[in-house]
A and B are shown apart, each in its own frame.
Chain A
Amino acid sequence: MAGKVVTISSGKGGVGKTTATANLGISLASLGKKVVVIDADIGLRNLDIIMGLENRIVYDLVDIVEGRSKLRQSMIKHKKFEDLFLIPAAQTRDKMAVSPEDMVKLTDELREEHDFVLIDSPAGIERGFRNALEPADEVLIVTNPEVSAVRDADRITGLIEAAEKGPGRLILNRIKPELVKKGEMLSSDDVFDILGLSIIGIIPEDELVLSASNSGVPVTLNTDSKAGMAFNNVARRLTGEDVPFMNLEDDPGFFRRLVRLIEGL
């Protein structure tokens, strides 16, 4: 088996990389794929708690790279999915403990037995990002419809292309259709125009994402969640399926608008 290594990056922090990685991992696993997710943010371990696996960690990425633990015994199996594993970041280690070559070696081994290896890149454009980028077959760039996040996404895009890993595909996260409609938020078309990247996912803002993080059960497992559905669609697109984009516009219709308008007066 020659699995695919997909790196999830963003440049700016806090745009939802880790959430996206966790959800894509779950979605791919629920599609029957064998998946490993790697938290490459050394020093700032996060992916484990989003996935609800924080209590099971024994070894971490640095232990594996430095040969203190065997790969198999270091991978944490997900509670619900037999074929979904996590390799957590080290908590207290020096960032330089892992090199891009280490990551290539590790992912080459993981590729053998898994369909997808997802790497949650740290924010920024330094060593951690280089580690996450080097082994990538494909890069997903997470951004928000917000000026600083889009600017950083462009910066990252340049670096990805310079490393000949491009072009990346974009996950536009936390979009609020009602604000877009009012013209008070960049639309997905705007972001596409600005960045010139193809879009693999448009994720609507959804309060259920926070509840999901709180409980350590990624939102894709909640069938009521629009964000969860959108992440599922991204996962299916990653497997090569052609999935149409969800209609996020909740058009209230003329009379509802009339009522709102009268209420607003």
Chain B
Amino acid sequence: MTSLLNRLFGRAKKGSGATAKNRLHFVLQHDRIHLPPQRMEAMKREILAVIVKYLVVDQDRVEIALEQRDRSHSKLVAVIPFAKEKQVQIELGPAVAAGGSDSNGAGKASEAVSDDDLREEESSDSEVGEPLAEADETSKSDTDSEEKDDKKT
């Protein structure tokens, strides 16, 4: 009945034209950056694999996606939420590991160089909402501090 009414009043229904538009939006995003969907998925998995080496994140809510306003302004936007309960474990980390001499040194070093990071983590954790971090910032600074850790130990 509604389709009859729609036809009578000349209302457009959603047809294959809308499908065409969606498919084109998707494929052109990938065409424009010369990265096909399969490779993009592989890249996302690799990025995530690196991040989880250093951070405990809520993998179900990770979003890494292309954002494109027009062809000359594309960017990759990553939203990497931390896993909330695990975050507490990370904070407890240095204190728990204080026993051994090796890990003790590492703990101190990491405290010394990644003070800012810790503060960031604390502040984001203290927010009652979802603690979110931009992947590029967090992973970069974290990698830096880890490199310095390695040198000291």
Contacts and interface: CB of A to CB of B under 8 A. Distances in A.
Interface of A: 146-147, 150-151, 154-155, 157-158, 161, 179-187, 190, 193-194, 196, 251, 254, 257-258, 261
A151 B24 contact: yes
Contacts of B13: 182-183
Contacts of A157: 71
Given A182-B12, A186-B17, A251-B10, A151 B72 contact: no
Contacts of B21: 186, 190, 193-194
Contact of B32 (A146, A154, A187, A190): A154
A152 to B, nearest CB: 10
A190 B7 CA distance: 22
Interface of B: 4, 7-10, 12-18, 20-21, 23-25, 27-28, 31-32, 70-72
A185 B17 contact: yes
B8 A184 contact: no
A261 B8 contact: yes
Given A155-B31, A258-B8, A261-B4, A182 B15 contact: yes
B15 A184 contact: yes
A251 B11 CA distance: 12
B17 A184 contact: yes
Given A151-B27, A158-B32, A187 B70 contact: no
A151 B12 contact: no
Most interface-central of B25, B70, B71 (chain A CB within 10 A): B71
Contacts of B8: 254, 257-258, 261
B29 to A, nearest CB: 10
Contact of A161 (B7, B23, B25, B72): B72
30 contacts: A146-B20, A150-B24, A151-B27, A151-B28, A151-B31, A154-B31, A154-B71, A155-B31, A158-B32, A158-B71, A179-B17, A182-B12, A183-B12, A183-B14, A183-B15, A183-B18, A184-B17, A185-B17, A186-B17, A186-B20, A186-B21, A190-B17, A190-B20, A194-B28, A196-B71, A251-B10, A254-B9, A257-B7, A261-B4, A261-B7
B102 to A, nearest CB: 54
B23 A194 contact: no
Given A186-B17, A187-B17, A181 B24 contact: no
A185 B32 CA distance: 24
A151 B18 CA distance: 15
Nearest to A264: B7
A161 B70 CA distance: 13
Nearest to B7: A261
A254 B8 CA distance: 7
Given A151-B28, A151-B31, A194-B28, A181 B71 contact: no
B28 A184 contact: no
